[in-house]
Structure 1
Amino acid sequence: MIKLIKGQRVSDGAGVKLNRVIGTQTLDHADPFFLLDEFRSDNKDDYIAGFPMHPHRGIETITYMIEGQFVHRDSKGNEGDLKAGEVQWMTAGRGILHEEMPAMTDGHLWGYQLWINLPAKIKMIEPKYRHIKNEDMPLVKKLGVEVKIISGVFDHQEGPVQSFYPITYMDVRLEHGIFETATKGTNLIYVHSGKVTVQAGAEQLEAEAGNLILVENVDSLNVKGDQGGFLFLSGEPIGEPIARYGPFVMNTNEEIQKAIQDFNDGVLDN
Protein backbone atom coordinates (compact mmCIF):
# COMPACT_ATOMS: atom_id res chain seq x y z
CA MET A 1 0.00 0.00 0.00
CA ILE A 2 1.22 3.49 -0.87
CA LYS A 3 -0.49 6.72 0.19
CA LEU A 4 0.16 10.47 -0.02
CA ILE A 5 -0.23 12.49 3.20
CA LYS A 6 -0.30 16.28 2.93
CA GLY A 7 1.35 18.29 5.69
CA GLN A 8 -0.77 20.47 7.97
CA ARG A 9 0.22 23.85 9.36
CA VAL A 10 -0.01 23.83 13.15
CA SER A 11 1.39 25.66 16.16
CA ASP A 12 2.96 23.88 19.13
CA GLY A 13 5.25 24.56 22.07
CA ALA A 14 5.07 28.26 22.92
CA GLY A 15 3.76 29.13 19.46
CA VAL A 16 6.28 27.51 17.11
CA LYS A 17 4.83 27.21 13.60
CA LEU A 18 5.20 23.71 12.20
CA ASN A 19 4.39 21.49 9.25
CA ARG A 20 2.93 18.33 10.83
CA VAL A 21 2.58 15.12 8.84
CA ILE A 22 2.14 12.51 11.61
CA GLY A 23 -0.14 13.26 14.55
CA THR A 24 -2.99 14.79 12.55
CA GLN A 25 -6.59 13.88 11.74
CA THR A 26 -5.33 12.57 8.39
CA LEU A 27 -2.60 10.38 9.91
CA ASP A 28 -2.84 9.94 13.68
CA HIS A 29 0.17 7.63 13.73
CA ALA A 30 2.08 5.16 11.57
CA ASP A 31 3.15 2.46 14.04
CA PRO A 32 5.79 2.77 15.49
CA PHE A 33 5.97 6.49 14.56
CA PHE A 34 3.68 8.85 16.48
CA LEU A 35 4.65 12.35 15.44
CA LEU A 36 6.70 14.06 12.75
CA ASP A 37 7.01 17.85 12.69
CA GLU A 38 9.11 20.08 10.48
CA PHE A 39 10.05 23.54 11.79
CA ARG A 40 11.48 25.63 8.98
CA SER A 41 11.51 29.41 8.76
CA ASP A 42 13.71 32.48 8.38
CA ASN A 43 11.19 34.52 10.41
CA LYS A 44 12.27 34.35 14.05
CA ASP A 45 8.71 35.09 15.21
CA ASP A 46 7.74 31.63 13.89
CA TYR A 47 10.02 29.81 16.32
CA ILE A 48 11.78 32.09 18.83
CA ALA A 49 9.49 31.08 21.74
CA GLY A 50 10.67 27.49 21.32
CA PHE A 51 9.47 24.51 23.34
CA PRO A 52 9.56 25.36 27.07
CA MET A 53 9.83 22.64 29.73
CA HIS A 54 7.28 19.85 29.15
CA PRO A 55 6.94 16.13 30.03
CA HIS A 56 7.11 12.85 28.10
CA ARG A 57 6.53 9.21 28.98
CA GLY A 58 6.50 5.97 26.98
CA ILE A 59 8.33 7.17 23.85
CA GLU A 60 11.62 8.27 22.34
CA THR A 61 11.90 11.78 20.86
CA ILE A 62 14.43 12.63 18.17
CA THR A 63 15.35 16.17 17.14
CA TYR A 64 17.37 16.55 13.94
CA MET A 65 18.71 20.00 13.07
CA ILE A 66 19.63 20.86 9.48
CA GLU A 67 20.07 24.61 10.00
CA GLY A 68 20.15 26.77 13.13
CA GLN A 69 20.52 25.67 16.75
CA PHE A 70 18.48 24.46 19.71
CA VAL A 71 19.63 24.39 23.33
CA HIS A 72 18.37 21.32 25.23
CA ARG A 73 17.92 21.01 28.98
CA ASP A 74 16.11 18.27 30.89
CA SER A 75 15.11 17.24 34.41
CA LYS A 76 17.88 14.62 34.58
CA GLY A 77 20.58 17.27 34.37
CA ASN A 78 21.42 16.80 30.69
CA GLU A 79 22.24 19.89 28.65
CA GLY A 80 23.30 20.28 25.05
CA ASP A 81 23.65 22.85 22.27
CA LEU A 82 22.24 21.14 19.19
CA LYS A 83 23.94 22.62 16.12
CA ALA A 84 23.29 22.30 12.39
CA GLY A 85 23.55 18.68 11.22
CA GLU A 86 23.33 17.21 14.72
CA VAL A 87 20.80 14.92 16.40
CA GLN A 88 19.39 14.73 19.90
CA TRP A 89 17.98 11.27 20.68
CA MET A 90 16.09 11.21 23.96
CA THR A 91 14.49 8.16 25.50
CA ALA A 92 11.71 9.43 27.74
CA GLY A 93 10.95 5.98 29.16
CA ARG A 94 9.31 6.19 32.60
CA GLY A 95 9.31 9.98 32.46
CA ILE A 96 11.33 13.11 31.81
CA LEU A 97 10.81 16.85 31.45
CA HIS A 98 12.79 18.77 28.86
CA GLU A 99 12.93 21.98 26.89
CA GLU A 100 14.34 22.96 23.50
CA MET A 101 14.93 26.64 22.84
CA PRO A 102 16.43 28.38 19.76
CA ALA A 103 19.99 29.52 20.40
CA MET A 104 19.84 32.57 18.12
CA THR A 105 17.85 35.80 18.05
CA ASP A 106 17.73 35.84 14.26
CA GLY A 107 18.52 33.51 11.40
CA HIS A 108 17.16 30.45 9.63
CA LEU A 109 15.86 27.47 11.60
CA TRP A 110 15.22 24.11 9.94
CA GLY A 111 14.78 20.83 11.73
CA TYR A 112 12.55 17.90 12.71
CA GLN A 113 10.95 16.36 15.76
CA LEU A 114 10.09 12.66 15.58
CA TRP A 115 8.37 10.50 18.21
CA ILE A 116 8.86 6.73 18.30
CA ASN A 117 6.64 4.53 20.42
CA LEU A 118 8.14 2.00 22.84
CA PRO A 119 6.77 -1.51 23.44
CA ALA A 120 4.95 -2.08 26.74
CA LYS A 121 7.80 -4.13 28.23
CA ILE A 122 10.25 -1.20 28.00
CA LYS A 123 7.98 1.84 28.29
CA MET A 124 9.08 2.44 31.87
CA ILE A 125 12.84 2.11 31.37
CA GLU A 126 15.17 4.78 32.70
CA PRO A 127 15.42 7.92 30.55
CA LYS A 128 18.48 8.36 28.35
CA TYR A 129 19.92 11.32 26.44
CA ARG A 130 22.28 11.14 23.46
CA HIS A 131 23.79 14.02 21.50
CA ILE A 132 25.09 12.83 18.11
CA LYS A 133 27.63 15.00 16.31
CA ASN A 134 27.42 15.52 12.57
CA GLU A 135 30.79 13.87 11.95
CA ASP A 136 29.64 10.69 13.73
CA MET A 137 26.90 9.99 11.17
CA PRO A 138 28.09 8.19 7.99
CA LEU A 139 27.53 9.99 4.68
CA VAL A 140 27.26 7.62 1.70
CA LYS A 141 27.63 9.09 -1.79
CA LYS A 142 27.00 7.04 -4.91
CA LEU A 143 25.51 7.56 -8.39
CA GLY A 144 23.58 10.78 -7.75
CA VAL A 145 22.49 9.73 -4.25
CA GLU A 146 23.73 11.09 -0.90
CA VAL A 147 22.56 9.34 2.26
CA LYS A 148 23.18 10.58 5.80
CA ILE A 149 22.63 7.65 8.17
CA ILE A 150 21.29 8.56 11.62
CA SER A 151 20.19 5.02 12.45
CA GLY A 152 19.89 1.84 10.48
CA VAL A 153 22.06 0.45 7.67
CA PHE A 154 22.64 1.57 4.09
CA ASP A 155 25.27 0.29 1.67
CA HIS A 156 26.92 -1.73 4.49
CA GLN A 157 27.34 1.35 6.70
CA GLU A 158 25.49 1.75 9.99
CA GLY A 159 24.27 4.86 11.78
CA PRO A 160 25.56 5.63 15.30
CA VAL A 161 22.25 5.35 17.17
CA GLN A 162 21.19 2.02 18.65
CA SER A 163 17.61 2.78 19.66
CA PHE A 164 15.65 0.75 22.19
CA TYR A 165 13.16 -0.07 19.42
CA PRO A 166 15.10 -0.39 16.15
CA ILE A 167 14.21 1.99 13.32
CA THR A 168 15.90 3.35 10.23
CA TYR A 169 16.31 7.14 9.99
CA MET A 170 18.14 8.71 7.03
CA ASP A 171 18.37 12.06 5.26
CA VAL A 172 18.58 11.44 1.51
CA ARG A 173 19.51 13.91 -1.25
CA LEU A 174 19.06 13.05 -4.94
CA GLU A 175 20.72 14.59 -7.97
CA HIS A 176 19.38 12.65 -10.95
CA GLY A 177 19.73 9.54 -8.79
CA ILE A 178 17.70 6.62 -7.47
CA PHE A 179 17.57 5.60 -3.81
CA GLU A 180 16.80 1.89 -3.43
CA THR A 181 16.29 0.03 -0.18
CA ALA A 182 14.68 -2.98 1.44
CA THR A 183 11.72 -2.07 3.63
CA LYS A 184 10.11 -2.89 6.96
CA GLY A 185 6.40 -2.95 7.78
CA THR A 186 6.04 0.85 7.96
CA ASN A 187 8.03 3.14 5.67
CA LEU A 188 7.85 6.93 5.39
CA ILE A 189 9.27 9.32 2.81
CA TYR A 190 8.96 12.95 3.94
CA VAL A 191 9.91 15.24 1.06
CA HIS A 192 11.77 18.33 2.26
CA SER A 193 13.22 19.55 -1.04
CA GLY A 194 12.01 19.49 -4.64
CA LYS A 195 9.93 16.58 -5.90
CA VAL A 196 10.43 12.82 -5.79
CA THR A 197 8.68 9.78 -7.24
CA VAL A 198 8.27 6.70 -5.05
CA GLN A 199 7.91 3.25 -6.62
CA ALA A 200 6.71 0.42 -4.37
CA GLY A 201 5.73 -2.80 -6.09
CA ALA A 202 3.31 -1.96 -8.90
CA GLU A 203 2.34 1.38 -7.31
CA GLN A 204 3.91 4.78 -7.89
CA LEU A 205 3.34 8.25 -6.41
CA GLU A 206 4.93 11.67 -6.80
CA ALA A 207 5.24 14.06 -3.86
CA GLU A 208 6.58 17.58 -3.46
CA ALA A 209 8.23 19.30 -0.52
CA GLY A 210 6.08 19.40 2.62
CA ASN A 211 4.28 16.13 1.98
CA LEU A 212 4.73 12.51 3.08
CA ILE A 213 4.39 9.18 1.32
CA LEU A 214 3.45 6.19 3.50
CA VAL A 215 4.43 2.76 2.19
CA GLU A 216 3.34 -0.44 3.94
CA ASN A 217 3.65 -4.17 3.36
CA VAL A 218 6.16 -4.26 0.50
CA ASP A 219 9.63 -5.82 0.33
CA SER A 220 11.46 -2.87 -1.25
CA LEU A 221 11.02 0.59 -2.73
CA ASN A 222 12.90 3.13 -4.78
CA VAL A 223 12.78 6.91 -4.87
CA LYS A 224 13.75 8.95 -7.93
CA GLY A 225 14.41 12.66 -8.18
CA ASP A 226 16.36 15.20 -10.19
CA GLN A 227 16.99 17.67 -7.33
CA GLY A 228 14.97 16.14 -4.49
CA GLY A 229 15.56 15.55 -0.80
CA PHE A 230 13.67 13.56 1.83
CA LEU A 231 13.76 11.89 5.20
CA PHE A 232 13.44 8.11 5.06
CA LEU A 233 11.98 6.40 8.14
CA SER A 234 11.33 2.70 8.47
CA GLY A 235 10.30 0.40 11.32
CA GLU A 236 8.29 -2.68 12.19
CA PRO A 237 4.88 -1.97 13.77
CA ILE A 238 4.73 -2.75 17.49
CA GLY A 239 1.10 -3.81 17.19
CA GLU A 240 0.03 -3.15 20.78
CA PRO A 241 -2.97 -1.27 22.20
CA ILE A 242 -2.50 2.51 22.19
CA ALA A 243 -3.54 5.13 24.71
CA ARG A 244 -2.35 8.65 23.98
CA TYR A 245 -2.70 11.99 25.70
CA GLY A 246 -0.53 14.91 24.62
CA PRO A 247 3.13 13.99 25.34
CA PHE A 248 2.27 10.58 26.86
CA VAL A 249 1.92 7.41 24.76
CA MET A 250 0.97 4.33 26.77
CA ASN A 251 -1.05 1.13 26.35
CA THR A 252 -4.07 1.78 28.59
CA ASN A 253 -6.13 4.73 29.78
CA GLU A 254 -5.21 3.80 33.35
CA GLU A 255 -1.53 4.25 32.49
CA ILE A 256 -2.31 7.65 30.96
CA GLN A 257 -4.13 8.72 34.11
CA LYS A 258 -1.15 7.57 36.18
CA ALA A 259 1.22 9.61 34.00
CA ILE A 260 -0.95 12.72 34.42
CA GLN A 261 -1.16 12.18 38.18
CA ASP A 262 2.59 11.62 38.44
CA PHE A 263 3.23 14.83 36.51
CA ASN A 264 0.79 16.80 38.67
CA ASP A 265 2.44 15.38 41.80
CA GLY A 266 5.90 16.28 40.53
CA VAL A 267 7.14 12.68 40.48
CA LEU A 268 6.93 11.82 36.76
CA ASP A 269 10.71 11.76 36.43
CA ASN A 270 11.45 10.07 39.77
Structure 2
Amino acid sequence: MASIKLFSGAFGHVSVLSAASDLVTHAHTEAHIIVWLEGDPGSMIVGGKEVRLGPDEAICVNSMQPHSHHFPEGKPGSFLAFYIRPEWAALRLGRKPGEPLFRRPAAPLDDELRTTTTGLFNALTGAVEAGDFAAYEIERMTERLIEAIDAAQLPMSTRAGKAGHLDYRIRKALALMEANLCGRVGLDEVARSVGLSRPHFFTLFKDQMKLTPNVYWNTLRMEEALRQIKGSEEPLTSVACNLGFTTQANFTRFFRDHAGVAPTLYREAARAGA
Protein backbone atom coordinates (compact mmCIF):
# COMPACT_ATOMS: atom_id res chain seq x y z
CA MET A 1 0.00 0.00 0.00
CA ALA A 2 1.53 3.32 -1.07
CA SER A 3 0.61 6.83 -0.08
CA ILE A 4 1.75 10.14 -1.49
CA LYS A 5 1.61 13.89 -0.83
CA LEU A 6 2.65 16.49 -3.39
CA PHE A 7 3.70 20.12 -3.42
CA SER A 8 4.39 21.98 -6.68
CA GLY A 9 6.35 25.17 -7.24
CA ALA A 10 8.54 27.02 -9.75
CA PHE A 11 11.36 24.54 -9.05
CA GLY A 12 9.26 21.49 -10.01
CA HIS A 13 7.58 19.44 -7.30
CA VAL A 14 8.34 17.47 -4.18
CA SER A 15 6.51 14.36 -3.02
CA VAL A 16 6.35 12.51 0.25
CA LEU A 17 6.04 8.85 -0.66
CA SER A 18 5.52 5.75 1.44
CA ALA A 19 6.05 2.62 -0.62
CA ALA A 20 7.04 -1.02 -0.34
CA SER A 21 6.60 -2.27 -3.91
CA ASP A 22 9.31 -2.17 -6.57
CA LEU A 23 9.50 0.57 -9.18
CA VAL A 24 10.50 -0.58 -12.66
CA THR A 25 13.39 1.01 -14.55
CA HIS A 26 12.18 4.45 -15.60
CA ALA A 27 13.34 8.03 -16.05
CA HIS A 28 12.12 11.61 -15.60
CA THR A 29 12.61 14.78 -17.57
CA GLU A 30 13.37 16.45 -14.24
CA ALA A 31 16.45 15.88 -12.13
CA HIS A 32 15.62 13.82 -9.06
CA ILE A 33 16.83 13.89 -5.44
CA ILE A 34 15.59 11.22 -3.03
CA VAL A 35 16.01 11.43 0.74
CA TRP A 36 15.18 8.43 2.92
CA LEU A 37 13.30 9.31 6.10
CA GLU A 38 12.12 6.17 7.87
CA GLY A 39 11.23 2.51 7.40
CA ASP A 40 12.89 0.23 4.85
CA PRO A 41 15.06 2.28 2.44
CA GLY A 42 15.35 -0.52 -0.10
CA SER A 43 18.02 -0.17 -2.77
CA MET A 44 18.21 1.66 -6.07
CA ILE A 45 19.89 1.15 -9.41
CA VAL A 46 20.87 4.52 -10.92
CA GLY A 47 22.51 4.53 -14.32
CA GLY A 48 23.42 0.86 -13.90
CA LYS A 49 24.99 1.33 -10.45
CA GLU A 50 23.50 0.06 -7.20
CA VAL A 51 23.12 2.70 -4.48
CA ARG A 52 21.60 2.43 -1.04
CA LEU A 53 19.70 5.15 0.74
CA GLY A 54 20.59 6.00 4.31
CA PRO A 55 20.46 8.79 6.90
CA ASP A 56 23.66 10.44 5.68
CA GLU A 57 23.19 10.34 1.90
CA ALA A 58 20.75 11.54 -0.74
CA ILE A 59 20.31 9.75 -4.05
CA CYS A 60 20.85 11.91 -7.14
CA VAL A 61 19.39 11.13 -10.55
CA ASN A 62 19.96 13.28 -13.62
CA SER A 63 17.32 14.19 -16.15
CA MET A 64 16.48 11.18 -18.34
CA GLN A 65 18.79 8.89 -16.35
CA PRO A 66 17.30 5.38 -15.95
CA HIS A 67 16.76 4.20 -12.39
CA SER A 68 14.73 1.69 -10.39
CA HIS A 69 13.88 1.10 -6.72
CA HIS A 70 13.68 -2.31 -5.08
CA PHE A 71 12.24 -3.49 -1.75
CA PRO A 72 13.42 -7.11 -1.28
CA GLU A 73 11.75 -7.44 2.12
CA GLY A 74 8.47 -5.88 1.00
CA LYS A 75 8.48 -3.53 4.00
CA PRO A 76 7.37 0.11 3.59
CA GLY A 77 9.72 3.06 3.65
CA SER A 78 9.10 6.82 3.62
CA PHE A 79 10.96 9.19 1.30
CA LEU A 80 11.15 12.83 0.37
CA ALA A 81 11.56 13.05 -3.42
CA PHE A 82 12.41 16.27 -5.25
CA TYR A 83 11.68 16.54 -9.00
CA ILE A 84 13.69 19.53 -10.17
CA ARG A 85 13.21 21.35 -13.47
CA PRO A 86 16.63 21.40 -15.16
CA GLU A 87 16.22 24.97 -16.42
CA TRP A 88 15.42 26.19 -12.87
CA ALA A 89 18.48 24.48 -11.42
CA ALA A 90 20.74 25.64 -14.27
CA LEU A 91 19.92 29.28 -13.56
CA ARG A 92 20.73 28.91 -9.87
CA LEU A 93 23.97 27.02 -10.41
CA GLY A 94 25.14 28.93 -13.46
CA ARG A 95 25.05 25.80 -15.61
CA LYS A 96 24.73 25.57 -19.37
CA PRO A 97 21.38 24.30 -20.69
CA GLY A 98 21.45 20.53 -20.99
CA GLU A 99 24.35 20.04 -18.59
CA PRO A 100 23.55 17.32 -16.02
CA LEU A 101 23.35 18.36 -12.38
CA PHE A 102 24.99 15.38 -10.73
CA ARG A 103 28.31 13.62 -11.25
CA ARG A 104 27.59 10.72 -8.90
CA PRO A 105 24.34 9.02 -7.87
CA ALA A 106 24.83 9.79 -4.18
CA ALA A 107 25.71 12.89 -2.16
CA PRO A 108 26.26 13.46 1.58
CA LEU A 109 23.58 14.99 3.80
CA ASP A 110 24.99 17.13 6.61
CA ASP A 111 23.21 17.63 9.93
CA GLU A 112 21.57 20.86 8.79
CA LEU A 113 20.11 19.28 5.67
CA ARG A 114 18.95 16.21 7.58
CA THR A 115 17.17 18.39 10.15
CA THR A 116 15.57 20.48 7.42
CA THR A 117 14.33 17.47 5.45
CA THR A 118 12.80 15.98 8.59
CA GLY A 119 11.04 19.27 9.33
CA LEU A 120 9.79 19.49 5.77
CA PHE A 121 8.49 15.92 5.93
CA ASN A 122 6.64 16.69 9.18
CA ALA A 123 5.10 19.83 7.70
CA LEU A 124 3.95 18.15 4.50
CA THR A 125 2.48 15.15 6.32
CA GLY A 126 0.67 17.29 8.86
CA ALA A 127 2.75 16.22 11.86
CA VAL A 128 3.34 19.92 12.52
CA GLU A 129 1.43 22.99 11.40
CA ALA A 130 2.69 23.96 7.94
CA GLY A 131 1.23 27.49 7.75
CA ASP A 132 3.16 29.45 5.13
CA PHE A 133 6.06 27.01 5.41
CA ALA A 134 5.47 25.14 2.17
CA ALA A 135 5.70 27.73 -0.60
CA TYR A 136 8.80 29.50 0.69
CA GLU A 137 10.62 26.78 2.56
CA ILE A 138 10.30 24.03 -0.04
CA GLU A 139 11.87 26.15 -2.75
CA ARG A 140 14.59 27.35 -0.36
CA MET A 141 15.20 23.76 0.72
CA THR A 142 15.50 22.60 -2.90
CA GLU A 143 17.96 25.37 -3.70
CA ARG A 144 20.00 24.52 -0.60
CA LEU A 145 20.05 20.85 -1.62
CA ILE A 146 21.31 21.39 -5.16
CA GLU A 147 23.92 23.91 -3.96
CA ALA A 148 25.20 21.50 -1.29
CA ILE A 149 25.35 18.60 -3.75
CA ASP A 150 27.07 20.79 -6.33
CA ALA A 151 29.71 21.79 -3.76
CA ALA A 152 30.27 18.15 -2.75
CA GLN A 153 30.78 16.87 -6.29
CA LEU A 154 33.45 17.76 -8.80
CA PRO A 155 32.65 19.92 -11.83
CA MET A 156 30.95 17.98 -14.58
CA SER A 157 31.47 17.81 -18.30
CA THR A 158 28.47 18.17 -20.56
CA ARG A 159 26.84 14.88 -21.52
CA ALA A 160 27.65 13.91 -25.09
CA GLY A 161 24.08 12.94 -25.86
CA LYS A 162 22.61 16.44 -26.16
CA ALA A 163 20.18 16.96 -29.00
CA GLY A 164 22.61 18.94 -31.15
CA HIS A 165 25.18 16.12 -31.07
CA LEU A 166 22.85 13.19 -31.67
CA ASP A 167 22.97 11.02 -34.76
CA TYR A 168 20.34 12.30 -37.22
CA ARG A 169 18.56 8.93 -37.12
CA ILE A 170 18.15 9.15 -33.36
CA ARG A 171 16.88 12.73 -33.63
CA LYS A 172 14.31 11.49 -36.15
CA ALA A 173 13.35 8.61 -33.86
CA LEU A 174 12.89 10.96 -30.89
CA ALA A 175 10.58 13.18 -32.90
CA LEU A 176 8.56 10.18 -34.05
CA MET A 177 8.24 8.82 -30.52
CA GLU A 178 7.20 12.20 -29.15
CA ALA A 179 4.52 12.47 -31.84
CA ASN A 180 3.10 9.04 -30.98
CA LEU A 181 2.64 8.99 -27.23
CA CYS A 182 -0.50 6.91 -27.66
CA GLY A 183 1.79 3.95 -28.37
CA ARG A 184 0.08 2.89 -31.58
CA VAL A 185 3.44 2.94 -33.36
CA GLY A 186 5.79 0.15 -32.30
CA LEU A 187 9.55 0.34 -31.89
CA ASP A 188 10.02 -1.95 -34.89
CA GLU A 189 8.23 0.65 -37.01
CA VAL A 190 10.33 3.45 -35.49
CA ALA A 191 13.51 1.54 -36.37
CA ARG A 192 12.32 0.99 -39.96
CA SER A 193 11.35 4.66 -40.27
CA VAL A 194 14.91 5.75 -39.51
CA GLY A 195 16.48 3.11 -41.76
CA LEU A 196 17.85 0.78 -39.09
CA SER A 197 17.30 -2.80 -38.06
CA ARG A 198 15.79 -3.27 -34.61
CA PRO A 199 19.10 -4.49 -33.04
CA HIS A 200 21.09 -1.65 -34.63
CA PHE A 201 18.47 0.89 -33.57
CA PHE A 202 18.47 -0.32 -29.96
CA THR A 203 22.28 -0.34 -29.80
CA LEU A 204 22.65 3.13 -31.32
CA PHE A 205 19.83 4.58 -29.20
CA LYS A 206 21.30 3.31 -25.93
CA ASP A 207 24.79 4.47 -26.92
CA GLN A 208 23.53 7.98 -27.69
CA MET A 209 20.81 8.43 -25.06
CA LYS A 210 22.21 6.26 -22.22
CA LEU A 211 18.86 4.48 -21.84
CA THR A 212 16.82 2.09 -23.95
CA PRO A 213 14.08 3.15 -26.38
CA ASN A 214 11.49 1.42 -24.17
CA VAL A 215 12.47 3.40 -21.08
CA TYR A 216 12.57 6.65 -23.06
CA TRP A 217 9.15 6.11 -24.59
CA ASN A 218 7.64 5.09 -21.27
CA THR A 219 9.14 8.24 -19.75
CA LEU A 220 7.36 10.36 -22.36
CA ARG A 221 4.09 8.54 -21.71
CA MET A 222 4.44 9.00 -17.96
CA GLU A 223 5.14 12.72 -18.38
CA GLU A 224 2.00 13.06 -20.48
CA ALA A 225 0.01 10.97 -18.01
CA LEU A 226 1.12 13.23 -15.15
CA ARG A 227 0.26 16.33 -17.18
CA GLN A 228 -3.24 15.07 -17.96
CA ILE A 229 -3.91 13.79 -14.45
CA LYS A 230 -2.82 17.05 -12.81
CA GLY A 231 -3.98 19.51 -15.45
CA SER A 232 -7.35 18.20 -16.62
CA GLU A 233 -10.63 16.93 -15.26
CA GLU A 234 -10.81 14.04 -17.72
CA PRO A 235 -11.70 10.68 -16.12
CA LEU A 236 -8.83 8.27 -15.83
CA THR A 237 -10.44 5.98 -18.37
CA SER A 238 -10.06 8.79 -20.92
CA VAL A 239 -6.46 9.45 -19.90
CA ALA A 240 -5.71 5.75 -20.33
CA CYS A 241 -7.34 5.74 -23.78
CA ASN A 242 -5.47 8.93 -24.80
CA LEU A 243 -2.20 7.14 -24.07
CA GLY A 244 -3.09 4.02 -26.02
CA PHE A 245 -3.95 1.66 -23.15
CA THR A 246 -6.71 -0.79 -23.95
CA THR A 247 -7.99 -0.89 -20.36
CA GLN A 248 -7.76 1.35 -17.32
CA ALA A 249 -6.35 -1.63 -15.38
CA ASN A 250 -3.36 -1.78 -17.73
CA PHE A 251 -2.83 1.98 -17.36
CA THR A 252 -3.07 1.74 -13.57
CA ARG A 253 -0.49 -1.05 -13.51
CA PHE A 254 1.84 0.94 -15.78
CA PHE A 255 1.44 4.08 -13.66
CA ARG A 256 1.99 2.26 -10.35
CA ASP A 257 5.11 0.53 -11.70
CA HIS A 258 6.62 3.92 -12.59
CA ALA A 259 5.31 6.25 -9.88
CA GLY A 260 4.80 3.86 -6.97
CA VAL A 261 1.15 4.83 -6.49
CA ALA A 262 -2.11 4.43 -8.40
CA PRO A 263 -3.20 7.32 -10.66
CA THR A 264 -6.31 7.95 -8.54
CA LEU A 265 -4.15 8.49 -5.47
CA TYR A 266 -1.72 10.68 -7.40
CA ARG A 267 -4.55 12.92 -8.66
CA GLU A 268 -5.92 13.34 -5.14
CA ALA A 269 -2.47 14.28 -3.84
CA ALA A 270 -1.83 16.70 -6.72
CA ARG A 271 -5.11 18.50 -6.07
CA ALA A 272 -4.44 18.68 -2.34
CA GLY A 273 -0.94 20.08 -2.91
CA ALA A 274 -1.82 22.59 -5.65
Same fold (TM over 0.5): no
Q: Is the helix fraction higher in 1 or 2?
A: 2
Structure showing greater Rg: 2
Structure with bigger RCO (C-alpha 8 Å, 6+ apart): 2
TM-score (norm 1): 0.44
Q: Is the strand fraction higher in 1 or 2?
A: 1
TM-score (norm 2): 0.43
